Structures are given as C-alpha cells and as structure tokens.
A and B are shown apart, each in its own frame.
Chain A
Amino acid sequence: MSTKIEIKDLNVGFHSDGQTKQVLHQVSLIVPENKKIGIIGESGSGKTQTVLSILGLISGEPGVISGKIKYRDNFILDTSANSKKQWKRIYGEKTQLLRGHEISIIFQDAKASLIPYRTIEEQAIETWKDLNGNQSRLEIIENARSLLEEMNLSDPERVLRSYPNQLSGGESQRAYIMLALLGSPSLLIADEPTSSLDRENADNLLNIIKKLCSDKKISLLLISHDLRDVIEHTDQIYVLFDGHVLEQFSPKNRTPTHPYTKFLMSMVDGELIKELKADPDSDNSVTNLVQNGNMNEKYACPYYKFCSLSRTLSTKEQQKCKNEKPSLEMFSDNNKSACWHDK
C-alpha cells in the first residue's frame, strides 16, 4: 500500500529556562493512502506537535531538531540532506503548498474557529480565495452546499446564510468541517474534535467525518485523548506518552500489550475503578499505582516511573528498563510495543 505521510525519527524541542526541552523523541509514524490513523495521548504528550510538524506550523525555537517527513514520495523535511538554513527554507515552502490544498486540519472548538462576523457562505468564498482557486462564486457555494448535505444537514441553504452565532453546536461543527474540505484535501487532520462532546455526539461526529473521508478517498489522522474514539474509528493507533511512541497497534487485529495502553484501557472500561472499589489496597499489576524511583530522575524507558508491570519484575529486569530505551523498531512487525517485558 502506498504511503501518504511518513514521519521518521522526528525530534522537536523548545527553549525553556535556558535549556532545550525536547517534546518529541524519535517519533515515527505512517499514514497510508485512504486509511484512518489515530494518535492517542494525554495533554502534553506531543500529539498536536506531531501533526503541526506535518503542516510546518511548529513555532518557537529550535522547533524541529532533526528527522524526516515524506509526503507521498517527496521529502518535505529532511534534516540530513542540506544545511540547516536550506532544509528550513525547503520545509517552509513545501508545507505551505500542502496546507489547505492537500492537507487540512480541524481543531477542537468549531465555534471559536469560525469568524463570528461573516456568514458561512462568505467564509467559504474567502477560504476558496485563500487557496487561489479558480471556481466561480456559484460553483463554490454549490460545492459547500453539497458538502453540508452529505453531512446530513437538512437545510444547508439556511446554514450557508447564517452567522456562526445563529447555528447550533452540531451545525457549526459541520460548517467548520465543510470549510476544511473545500480545497479537496487528500489528508484530513482532526485535532481532538470530540473533546467537548459527550459519548453519543462524539460518535455521531466521528461517523460523519469517517464517512466523508471514505467517500472522498481522504486519509484521516485523528487525534484524541480518549481511547474509545480511536479504537472505534481508526485502523491503526499510535500511543504517545511524554513525546515517545510507546505502542502501535491495529484495534481490529491485536489487543494492546504495553502497560501504559493497558492502563488506559482499564480506565476506559472501568475495570481499574471496579477493582479499586472492591479493594483500594489491592496490589496487582494494574492497580499498583505507586510511583517508581525518583520523580526527578530520567529513565531510559519513559514510562518506567508509572509502570505497574515493572514492579512485578526482578531487579535485573528493572535495570534494563532504567538503562536501555526500548523502541518500536526493535520488535517485530506484529508486536510493536516499546516494552522489554510485555511479550
């Protein structure tokens, strides 16, 4: 299968308090054509930085430190090829060409992303102008109308004539998605589109996004902090923790094995809370939540401090967690979990 986006060994960092704080560590990720990929992680795990790097929108210094990003067969970022000045220039130029045309992004809050003093129709036309499109006004409006119709809106004309404050939450979300899809992108990035929604509305919205992507052959990169979103709606999931990819798995083919992913699963299905409720002092591999080692210490495995599996290991095995970093590449294709001991 051909690849749409490939990120390889990406390192990103920012200056803070006179030091460089790295926020992404050797992140690698592949979005194949017409597939739906999920990124899951808590706040601060580097989800948004990962997708912003695809769009060349990382601001701050030093930003991208090293790594490669390929769009189809083209390198849009390759820090090994040229001098820093050169690769930065190429990265900026190439991502600018992709934004809006080939790759679109939608953020969390639809209402906040729409311009409050322009009707949806005016915003559609403006978006199209920004993309230097050559369609007529009527064609753009027709295009916008049919997109809204495809999202099960019964009265798309009214939505087009409305200002954002006249729309319901669901309508503004659909209008926002419509604007993102006007340029016919081939990759849609959705950055926590469901974070303010309850379960039912979240599933509805994701079903709409999924259907549009399938119909129009758009690849989807869905970011979420809720494991349920990505398990139900994507083909392949990357689990990010503190800027590291800890596990990559396909929800249809494999249950995750990494202690962190397992912990997240147990929080989602409530197993952990059930066990704690039965016995708050129970001490098995999931319920043991005590912290390992020193909080200020850096260990080779980024999850070591919180890992409940590591407490069941021998001292020698724990030494390995502390001193040798496990990475996905070390393990075979069908078991991509960055853990020494979950096999």
Chain B
Amino acid sequence: MLKVTDLKKAFKNKDGTKVEILKKLNIEIKKGEILGIIGESGCGKTTFLRTVLRLEEADSGSVLYNGVDLMKISKNEIRNKIRRNLRYVYQHPEASLNPGVTVGKSLLNTCKLFHTNELEKKVADSLELVGLPFEYKSSFPHELSGGEKRRAVLARALITEPQMIFADEPFSGLDKILQARLIQSFLRIQKQRELTYILVSHDQSIINNISDRIFRLQNGILQQIKS
C-alpha cells in the first residue's frame, strides 16, 4: 500500500552543520496493518511521519502510495488527492484544535476542504465512531478532557474516510482508563473500516501488544524488531 525507499532528511544546525535525521530509510506497509514505531526521543519519529506525508520536504527518496510517488507530484495534487486518504493525527491535540471553534465546526471545516457532501451526517458518524456523544459538536476544545480531545482529533482525521492514519503518540498523557478506551476505539474503527495505522509511541507495553509489526528508529535507520 505504501512503500518508502531510501528516504533521506537532514536538518541544519545553528552553526551550519548538517544533522542527518533519516538516512536511507526503507519500509513497506501493507493494507490493514498496524505498524508500530518506537525510538528514543529526538530520534526522528515525528520527522519520519511528516516527511512521508510531505508536511516536510525530503532530501531524496521515494514514497509510493498505490503506485504514485508522493515525492514527485505537486503540492496541489497532494492536497486534493492524497491528504484525505492519508491522515495525520498530531501529538498534541490541544495545539491542533482551534480553541475558538467548536468540535463540530472543526469537523465540518475539514469536510469542506475535501468537498464532501452530507456534511452533517458525516460529523455525526465520525463522532459516533470515536465514541463521543453527538452533543459534543457544540463544545469548544477547552471544555473537553484530555481523552475527549484525543477522540476529537481522531474524529477529524476519520471524517474524510481515509485509508491510512499516521498517529503521533496518540495514547500519551492519558490515564490508564482513558488509554484503554481509546485503544479500544482505535481497534474497533480499524476492524470496521479496514484501516492501516502507523503508530508512533514510546509506550512499549502498548506498542508491543497493539502492533502487527514493530520497527525501531535508531541512527536514522528503521530496524524491524517484531514480525
């Protein structure tokens, strides 16, 4: 479904020296798979997700998605054809929800970006899918708890009916009861929609048990540690 070949990304330090975050990274992801990525903080897990999705430009390499090389097509094409299928769930839900906009409106805006119809129904379905009551569409982000915010950003990612979800630390900062429920939602949705997940997390006990395959990102290279 997604094939990453020789992906490279380096950043420049303040003093001009180059730091290679991703060196020749290779990975192939199959449909319906849950892929776990672990690694020390600062090893480039987030950079990897962002580069694959072209939220960050890679230095070289290719990312084939259903036969199309994401690195070669224009930003416009990415926006119009790819974004709705490959969705990114940010690490910090507080920072990714607009504080002045209700959850429902936030979902609607996302729908509109992708010109989908039956907007209201989509919002209702999406909220139901992640287990948020429909009334929450009129709530502002600050009125939600940590776990509810995480559900809201997941609902926003799901509203375009994507094929893949790239989630950056989706379970962190929650207490165990909320974590368990969110994991249940993730797995339910995956089953219903045959979704493919790429999950980045530092919580080994969750990653070990939720993932089909696990890779460790270290020194810019992905190494498989569980198959």
Beyond A269-B205, A273-B183, A289-B181, 15 extra complex contacts between A and B, CB < 8 Å: A43-B175, A44-B175, A199-B204, A264-B176, A268-B205, A270-B205, A270-B208, A270-B209, A273-B180, A273-B205, A276-B180, A276-B187, A277-B187, A280-B190, A289-B177
B191 within 8 A of A: yes
Which chain A residues numbered 246 to 296 have a C-beta less than 8 Å away from chain B? 263-264, 267-270, 272-274, 276-277, 280-281, 287, 289
Task: With both chains docked as a complex, state the minimum distance between the C-beta of A191 and any C-beta of chain B, in angstroms.
Answer: 17
Of chain A, the residue at the smallest CB distance from B182 is A289
Q: Is the CB of A277 within 8 A of B209?
A: yes
> Given the complex of chains A and B, what is the CA–CA distance between A44 and B145 in angstroms?
13
Q: Is the CB of B188 within 8 A of A267?
A: no
Q: Is the CB of A280 within 8 A of B209?
A: no
Q: Mark A32-58, 1 if CB is under 8 A from B, else 0.
A: 000000000011100000000000000
Task: With both chains docked as a complex, state the minimum distance between the C-beta of A66 and any C-beta of chain B, in angstroms.
Answer: 28
Q: Is the CB of B175 within 8 A of A267?
A: no
Q: For residue A44, which residues in chain B have a CB less than 8 angstroms away from its CB?
A: 175
> Given the complex of chains A and B, what is the CA–CA distance between A43 and B146 in angstroms?
12
> Given the complex of chains A and B, what is the CA–CA distance between A306 and B181 in angstroms?
11
Task: With both chains docked as a complex, state the minimum distance between the C-beta of B80 and any C-beta of chain A, in angstroms.
Answer: 33
- Residue from B177, B183, B202 having most chain A Cβ neighbours under 10 A: B177
> Given the complex of chains A and B, what is the CA–CA distance between A270 and B183 in angstroms?
12
Q: Is the CB of A289 within 8 A of B209?
A: no
B: which residues have CB within 8 A of A? 175-177, 179-181, 183-184, 187-188, 190-191, 202, 204-206, 208-210
Q: Is the CB of A263 within 8 A of B204?
A: no
Neighbour of A280 across the interface among B177, B188, B202, B208, CB < 8 A: B188
Main secondary structure of the interface of B (DSSP, over half): helix
Q: How many A-B residue pairs have CB under 8 A?
A: 49
| 15 chain-A/chain-B pairs, Cβ below 8 angstroms | A42-B175, A42-B177, A225-B175, A263-B177, A267-B179, A267-B180, A268-B205, A269-B205, A273-B205, A273-B209, A280-B187, A280-B191, A281-B188, A289-B180, A289-B184
Q: For residue B183, which residues in chain A have a CB less than 8 angstroms away from its CB?
A: 273, 276
A: which residues have CB within 8 A of B? 42-44, 198-199, 225, 263-264, 267-270, 272-274, 276-277, 280-281, 287, 289, 306
Of chain B, the residue at the smallest CB distance from A260 is B177
Of chain B, the residue at the smallest CB distance from A281 is B188
Q: For residue B191, which residues in chain A have a CB less than 8 angstroms away from its CB?
A: 280
Q: Is the CB of B176 within 8 A of A42?
A: yes
Q: For residue A43, which residues in chain B have a CB less than 8 angstroms away from its CB?
A: 175
Of chain B, the residue at the smallest CB distance from A199 is B204
Task: With both chains docked as a complex, state the minimum distance between the C-beta of B151 and any C-beta of chain A, in angstroms.
Answer: 13
Task: With both chains docked as a complex, state the minimum distance between the C-beta of A46 and any C-beta of chain B, in angstroms.
Answer: 13
> Given the complex of chains A and B, what is the CA–CA distance between A272 and B175 in angstroms?
15
> Given the complex of chains A and B, what is the CA–CA distance between A234 and B25 in angstroms?
43
Q: For residue B181, which residues in chain A have a CB less than 8 angstroms away from its CB?
A: 289
- Residue from A44, A225, A280 having most chain B Cβ neighbours under 10 A: A280
> Given the complex of chains A and B, what is the CA–CA distance between A280 and B208 in angstroms?
17
Q: For residue A276, which residues in chain B have a CB less than 8 angstroms away from its CB?
A: 180, 183-184, 187
Q: Is the CB of A273 within 8 A of B176?
A: no
